[in-house]
Amino acid sequence: MNLSWMAWTLPTAIFFITIFCILVTMTIWEYKSPGGDPRVGVLRFETTRGDRVFVSLLGSAFIHIIWLALFPSISLWCAFAIALIYVCAVFKWV
């Protein structure tokens, strides 16, 4: 199968492998402990682990897109650090 049209690079492959690993880990966690640990956080509605992962992934994508729009010449590692802080905050307070 020729995938050269997709312009795969090492960072792109690492990104998709990481997303896949997160989904597999969440699937195993849900299988071992069903129910998703629902709780009401700052958004004032009930969220589960899966909801928090989705919000984290979506928010992290927006952080990186905004970073690229505002600071194209500064390393994406700064956006990654901000995204990690955001993910920790989502899992603690959402």
- Computed over every residue of the chain, the mean pLDDT equals 89
Closest CA to 11 of 77, 86, 81: 77
pLDDT grade for 76, boundaries at 50, 70 and 90: confident
**Token representation of residue 15:** 């990104």
Domain boundaries, the chain: 4-93
Q: Kindly give the residue spans of alpha helices, DSSP state H, lying in 1-94.
A: 10-32, 49-70, 76-93
- Tens digit of each residue's pLDDT (9 = 90 or more) over 15-39: 889 999 999 999 999 899 887 778 9
pLDDT tens per residue, range 78-91: 999 999 999 999 99
Please classify residue 91 by burial: count the beta carbons closer than 10 Å to its beta carbon, then call 0-12 exposed, 13-18 middle and 19+ buried: middle
Residues listed for the chain: 94
